[in-house]
Structure formats: C-alpha cells, structure tokens
C-alpha cells in the first residue's frame, strides 16, 4: 500500500502579524509567509486592531498555503489570548475594532471595584483584576458600542475572544477552548466553565458567550479553494509555544520574548492558586483527556520596548541592538525598567511607568539601547524565578529577541542558568502543528533541522548579584514614585 502524504497548516494570529506554516509528515517545517496588520492607537492606553483585516489575512494565508501544498489535511489556529471582538453572527461581520490585550481603557472601572469583589474574582478565576484580561473589554463593548447592544437585543450577537470570531467566520461554529476561556476572568478555573457569578460581576450575560470545547478535536470545516479543511486545534499562542517547546512534564517551563514576555510552566492536573502574583491557566485539553494546567508569569512589555526605542529615534532599526561590545550598561549604573504599560506579574501595577536610572553626561545612545535589552532580560529572569524555577537546568526560550545574541547571553547570566535556543524560532506554529497531528490521530513527525543550542552563563560573581540587586532597586524606585503620585493630597 502506498503512503498517503499528509501535512498540517498552522496559522499563528499574533499581536503584530499573522503567519502561516506547514508541517509535513516527514518532519519538514515550511513557512507560507506572513501578513502584518495595523496597530490602531486611538489614544493613550488604547490599542485596537481591525477585526476584518485580521480575518482577511487569515483567509489569504489559508488560500496561499492550499495552493502551494495540496497535501494539507487539517488546520490549527493560535490566537492572541485576551483580545476581544464583537460581531453579527448572521452577517459574520465585526461590529467594532478588536480590543487588544494591551488595551487599558477599562482599568479605571476595575480599580473602582470593592476589595471584596476583587478577591472574589481572583478566587474564582485565578486571575488578578486587570484590564489585560478579557471580561472588562467585553463589558465595555456591550456598554459603549450601540451596534453591539442592538445585536445582543436582536439575538444575533457574537462576542468573546478573537478566535471565536475567526472560527465562526471560517466554520460557522460558535465555540472557544479552555486555554482562551481561562484568560477571560469569566471562567471558573477549577471546573473549566463560564461562571454565573463572574459574569454578573462584569455585566456580561453568560448566554452571550461561546461554548467551551476541548483545545484539540473538531471545530468545524473550512471551505476554501474548493477544499474542505477540518479545523482541529484552537489555542492561545503562548500555550501553543509551550507545547512546541516540548514541555510535557510538570515543572517544564519556557519563556517567549514577543511583544511582551510570557513565561509558562506546566503545573499538572489542578490549578496552583497559592503563588502570589502568578496566574493559573489551562495549558491545553487534548481529545478524551482532562485539562492540563500551567502557571503563567507574563509581563506587558518586551519587544514592545525595542519598538518604542526605535519609534522615538533612540535606534534606527533592530540592527542597532546588535552589540559587539559585551560590557553591560548596568556595570555603569544605567538601568531601564521596561514598564511602558505598567508591570504585570508578579506585581500587577499598571500605575508603574518605565524609567531609566543612572544617566550621566557620558551616557550614549548605545548605553540606553543596551539597558533596554538588559531590563527585559532581568524581568524575564524574575518571571522564571517566580514560577518556581530556582534550579540550574536550562530554560527554553523563543520569540524575536531570542535571535539577539547579546540579549540571550545577558539573560543566561542574569538567571545563572543555561538558555536553550530551539532549532526553530516559530515554536507557536510548530506546537500548533504537532498538536494537530495528535488531534488527527496521526503520528507526530520527528523534527528535522539543527538541534537546540545551549547558551551557558558566565562565571557567577558577586558583581552579577549586585547588578541584579541594583535593577531590583530601580523597580522599587519606579513603584514608589507611582505610589507617591497616586497618594491623596494632604
């Protein structure tokens, strides 16, 4: 009997672009290209995407991949996590821009909640009360966009995290998965269901929300180019990356340095609720199995700080962040706290602002660029340690900053642990495709390509520990300044 070739199409719909890859059954991993989308910034702290542009890019990449790889037998989709969209379920058209996970428009409303209500939200959802998560964005759309309210009254509203819109548009199914639902503040983290009490707190009618189904399984059929393509995986991008890193055992961890820093560690069959400042989340739910939980320690700003530095003229491009001189800026007392959108785990302080410390007349732009990378690395080390990573084993990383050799070596030194660089920089798409093979009951291909590399930290010295303490002092100063600004006038 001749072998029937198969391949999985993986679509990674991220914060700045949508990318497509194909994983074939012989282990070949092929890029099908990517499409950037606009970052819409209506005001300070407001971040939106054109939802129609996002789904249009997804459809274009599906068509492109099917034309080039007719052996594709199924598709998997990764989403941004906490980004939300409202749409008309009859016309399948978006009713407003997507409100992105970075958006802070609803933080004031959340800050005004009574302390007892905030405690109830955290106890049920496992999440801090923060505009990062989806519930307050959904509530804002229901309250402030007339077309959304009308669609709700007419019984034709779809509303939820972005992938539920994509899936409805592509397959006609109104569903979400546990990984994404666990990022909304509307799901009970213990039982994996949308919770009536949480929905009432945020003012989101439970019957408006999509059905929660396992991460891998069957999400309906996509019909494109005279083809019928089953959608078999839908998952948050960071959880897909965790799978792509090969994390399968409790304690396995990774950190992705994308727009933000996203550290995840597998925690087992039940959520961990006793780590202050860290977030229990669902890693995935495979066919016929119970959910697997993870512990999340994320921060709002990583590569976003590099983009900001370029936008204000501190650098001309990413190439300006490549350094031959390995002398850290912090050895000269220069540090950067990467809190352009506040500090997330384990602080959850939206009020803290980014800052440079230690600037003198001799400080050069290259020093500031180095300090930006170093600040991101120090925050990454802090996240890994907060997750319980006090050991000396390798930490697996990915994301755009993983290609910066100065950053990677500095991160290894800051953690005093080796950094594991995977053979592919696209761990989200690779994890998606591998999970889709499992969902399709096909053997997962062995990976081809170069083996992962270890970046070993330099000798541990009192100076390295002192620099880390200095950076922590910079964070403490930024937090104290924010507190003093927020203090009522006497």
SS3 at position 420 = strand
Q: Confirm if 416 and 392 have CB atoms less than 8 A apart.
A: yes
d(CA 291, CA 268): 9
Q: Which residues pair with 72 in a beta bridge?
A: 7
Q: CA-CA distances (angstroms) from residue 339 to 104, 257, 311, 352, 354?
A: 14, 15, 16, 6, 4
Q: What is the pLDDT of residue 451?
A: 64
Q: Confirm if 65 and 24 have CB atoms less than 8 A apart.
A: no
Q: Which residues pair with 340 in a beta bridge?
A: 342
Could you tell me whether strands 279-284 and 292-299 are parallel, antiparallel, or unpaired per DSSP bridges? antiparallel
Unique residue bearing structure tokens 């933000």: 260
d(CA 86, CA 204): 13
Determine the straight-line distance between the first and last CA of the chain, rounded to whole angstroms.
Answer: 84
Could you tell me whether strands 227-236 and 29-36 are parallel, antiparallel, or unpaired per DSSP bridges? unpaired
Q: Confirm if 17 and 11 have CB atoms less than 8 A apart.
A: no
Neighbouring residues of 417: CB distance < 8 A, sequence distance ≥ 6: 384, 389, 391, 392, 393, 394, 395, 457
User: Which tokens sit at 294?
Assistant: 């993870």
pLDDT mean values, one per 10 residues, the chain (490 residues): 70 96 92 96 95 98 95 96 97 98 94 96 94 97 97 97 98 97 97 96 97 96 92 96 91 90 92 89 93 93 96 96 92 96 92 96 96 97 83 84 94 93 84 91 73 85 90 97 77
Least Cα distance to 352 among 337, 362, 342 occurs for 342
Q: What is the pLDDT of residue 2?
A: 39
User: Which tokens sit at 63?
Assistant: 């068509």
Q: Which helix (H) or strand (E) holds 261?
A: strand 261-268
Least Cα distance to 440 among 204, 242, 232 occurs for 232
- CB atoms inside a 10 Å sphere around CB 160: 27
d(CA 429, CA 29): 9
User: Which tokens sit at 226?
Assistant: 């005279």
Whether omega before 488 lies within 30 degrees of 0, making that bond cis, reads: no
Q: CA-CA distances (angstroms) from residue 358 to 305, 365, 470?
A: 18, 13, 11
Burial 183-203 (b: 16+ CB within 10 A, else e): bbbbbbbbebebbeebbebbe
SS3 at position 217 = coil
Neighbouring residues of 196: CB distance < 8 A, sequence distance ≥ 6: 206
Q: Give the relative orientation of helices 51-68 and 162-171 as an angle to the nearest 10 degrees.
A: 50
Q: What is the pLDDT of residue 3?
A: 44
| Numbers of helices and strands, H then E, in the chain | 14, 23
Q: Which residues pair with 90 in a beta bridge?
A: none
Tallying the residues shown for the chain, one arrives at 490
């Amino acid at each position: 009997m001749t072998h029937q070739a198969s391949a999985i199409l993986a679509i990674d719909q991220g914060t700045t672009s949508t990318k497509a890859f194909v994983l074939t059954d012989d282990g070949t991993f092929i890029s099908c290209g990517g499409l950037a989308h606009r970052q819409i910034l209506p005001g300070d702290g407001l971040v939106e995407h054109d939802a129609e542009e996002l789904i249009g890019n997804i459809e274009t990449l599906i068509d492109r991949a099917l034309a080039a790889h007719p052996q594709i037998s199924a598709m998997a989709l990764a989403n941004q996590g906490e980004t939300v969209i409202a749409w008309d379920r009859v016309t399948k058209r978006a009713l407003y821009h997507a409100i992105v996970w970075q958006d802070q428009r609803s933080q004031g409303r959340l800050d005004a909640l009574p302390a007892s209500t905030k405690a109830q939200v955290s106890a049920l959802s496992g999440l801090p009360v923060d505009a990062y998560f989806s519930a307050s964005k959904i509530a804002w759309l229901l309250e402030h966009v007339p077309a959304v309210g009308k669609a709700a009254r007419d019984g034709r509203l779809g509303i939820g995290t972005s992938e539920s819109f994509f899936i409805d548009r592509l397959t006609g199914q109104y569903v979400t998965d546990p990984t994404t639902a666990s990022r909304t503040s509307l799901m009970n983290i213990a039982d994996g269901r949308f919770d009536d009490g949480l929905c009432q707190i945020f003012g989101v009618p439970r019957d408006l929300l999509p059905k929660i189904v396992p991460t891998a399984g069957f999400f309906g059929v996509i019909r494109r180019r005279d083809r019928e393509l089953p959608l078999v995986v839908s998952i948050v991008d960071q959880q897909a990356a965790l799978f792509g890193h090969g994390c399968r055992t409790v304690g396995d961890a990774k950190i992705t340095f994308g727009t933000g820093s996203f550290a995840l560690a597998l925690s087992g069959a039940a959520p961990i609720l006793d780590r202050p400042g860290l977030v229990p989340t669902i890693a995935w739910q495979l066919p016929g199995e119970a959910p697997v939980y993870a512990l999340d320690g994320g921060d709002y700003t990583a590569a976003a700080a590099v983009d900001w530095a370029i936008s204000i003229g501190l650098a001309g491009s990413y190439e300006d962040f490549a350094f031959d001189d390995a002398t850290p800026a912090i050895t000269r007392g220069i540090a950067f706290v990467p809190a352009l959108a506040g500090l997330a785990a384990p602080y959850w302080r939206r009020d803290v602002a980014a800052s440079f410390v230690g600037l003198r007349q001799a400080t050069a732009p290259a020093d500031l660029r180095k300090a930006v990378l170093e600040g991101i690395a120090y925050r990454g080390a802090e996240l890994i340690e907060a997750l319980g990573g006090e050991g000396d084993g390798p930490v697996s990383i990915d994301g755009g900053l993983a290609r910066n050799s100065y950053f990677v070596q500095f991160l290894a030194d800051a953690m005093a642990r080796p950094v594991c660089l995977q053979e592919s920089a696209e761990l989200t798409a690779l994890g998606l495709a591998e999970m889709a093979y499992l969902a399709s009951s096909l053997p997962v291909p062995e990976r081809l390509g170069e083996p992962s590399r270890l970046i070993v930290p330099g000798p541990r010295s009192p100076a390295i520990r002192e620099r880390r303490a200095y950076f922590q002092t910079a964070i403490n100063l930024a937090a104290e300044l924010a507190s003093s600004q927020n203090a009522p006038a006497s």
